[in-house]
Amino acid sequence: MFFPSRAFAPASEAKVLVASDDGADLEQLVDHLKHDYREVGRSLDPNRAVAEFERLLPQVIVLAFENIRKSDGYLLSLYRHSKVASSHPHRTVLLCTQADVRDAYELCRKGCYDDYALYWPMAQDGLRLSMSVWNAAREVLVEARKPSAHQLEVHAEQLDEAQAFLSREIAGAAEFQDTATAALDQVEDAVGAAIDGFGRRVDPPSGSGKSMVRDPAAFHGELDRLKREDIPNAFRAAAGLFRQAAAWPGQAGRRLQSVAVQAHTLAKAAPHPRRMLMVVEDDPVQQELIAGVLEPTGVEIVMLPDGASLLGALRRAKPTMILMDINLPDVDGVALTRIITGLPRLAGVPVLMLTGEASKESLAKSIEAGAVGYIVKPFTPVTLLRNIDRYLPKAAS
């Protein structure tokens, strides 16, 4: 018997967007994938890339461009101009030639893309693309179904509120039960008295009137049995049903309490992510310096060498803070900061600039782009720590 190693998700429910600069390749890929997924969209016109993504909102993007540089350009433009691309959960699969396999591998290791497939010539592994897209789609769908620690905590609090409400209702029901039980006793006495009165009217005591029954002994025997057996039994049955109904809220309350305890346990056991600092810096020396200074602080550090790597990382996680170099090899750090600070999902995430230029113009552009501050290189460990401590949001208690 096969036991899956991860939660099952119907990958066929995913939507896939194929982006390319070659119409023939695009149609071939769409035809290859369209039978396996809910919907497969096309993106051939660069001017319509954002509209096509936002219409489909795919779980997987397949990038089938002439070279990796064009794939980079497509993603950077998409994340720069779309309001939802960086926040919508999706994975990227990069198609490459034999000559580009090594570069594709390194880009996936850095997090720029999620996976790659050697597609040209396709004959080398015709099913590799299908498997890559299938795994990517499944990962997105499984991740979307996982409740966060915050969601579990909210659920537990809602259960607590429901339990408190039910406890108040149970207390009120207990008082009502006492009142209703006393009322049943009074009704039973009243019914008994009514039967006695009926008996006296139908068969008056000797000398006080004419009897209306032929066999007074049998008649009074039936009335006595009615008072001693039938009516008390009926009232006892009614009281028993009432007690069962009154006991149900207490049983439900105990079950709800058990569920609430389990929800609190799950919320406590769920992973609470540490504060995360994404550092966008292409200089290995600076990377090593920053990591060495920040490692003792307990903050999770994610080193990223360029803008494409940052955009890829932001699709998977929301950092607590971003440390951004102005001069990146693939994109202007100020322009990238302007994109990031304009995304609703990243609202409130401070961006601190790293710059080798201390000119007022450069610093002013950084602040205008949304950065909270800047550090001029070269900087000392004390300066770095002071600025990180100033702008890094405090951990939730």
Concatenate the DSSP letters of all residues of 146-199 into one string.
SPPHHHHHHHHHHHHHHHHHHHHHHHHHHHHHHHHHHHHHHHHHHHHHHHHHHH
Q: What is the pTM of this model?
A: 0.58
DSSP 286-338: HHHHHHHHHGGGT-EEEEESSHHHHHHHHHH---SEEEEESB-SSSBHHHHHH
Give the model's pLDDT for residue 65: 96
pLDDT at 272: 55
Collapsing DSSP states into helix, strand and coil, what is residue 104? helix
Position 71 scores a pLDDT of: 92
Query: How far is residue 369's CA from residue 193's CA, in Å, rounded to a whole number?
Result: 90
The whole-number pLDDT of residue 72 equals 87
- N residues, the chain: 397
Run of H or E residues at 138: helix 128-145
Strands 15-20 and 351-355: unpaired
CATH architecture of the domain with residue range 276-391: 3-Layer(aba) Sandwich (3.40)
Residue type, 355: T
For residue 3, the model assigns a pLDDT of 45
β-pair partners for 116: 94
| Per-residue confidence (pLDDT) for residue 55, from 0 to 100 | 95
* Domain extents in the chain: 11-146, 150-269, 276-391
Closest by Cα among 288, 297, 361 to 326: 361
Residue type, 361: E
What pLDDT sits at residue 155?
63
Same fold: 11-146 with 276-391: yes
Would you state the structure tokens that stand for residue 85, as one six-digit string? Answer: 């691309």
Instruction: Supply the pLDDT for residue 122.
Output: 64
Residue pLDDT tens, the chain, 397 long? 444 444 445 788 899 999 999 999 999 999 999 989 989 999 999 999 999 999 999 999 999 999 998 998 898 888 878 878 877 889 999 999 989 999 999 888 877 889 999 988 765 566 888 899 999 998 888 877 766 555 566 666 666 676 666 666 666 666 666 676 777 777 767 777 777 777 677 667 766 666 666 777 777 777 777 777 777 777 777 777 666 666 666 666 666 666 667 666 665 665 556 789 999 998 888 888 888 888 888 888 999 988 888 888 888 788 999 999 998 888 889 988 988 888 878 888 999 999 887 777 878 888 898 999 888 888 888 888 998 888 888 765 4
Tell the CATH topology of 11-146.
Answer: Rossmann fold (3.40.50)
How remote is the C-alpha of 184 from its chain's centroid? Answer: 52
| Class of residue 353 by CB neighbours under 10 A (exposed 0-12, middle 13-18, buried 19+) | buried
Handedness of CA 263, 266, 271, 275 (dihedral sign): positive
For 387, residues 6+ apart whose C-beta sits below 8 A from its C-beta are 352, 373, 375
User: Is 270 within 8 Å of 149 (Cβ atoms)?
Assistant: yes
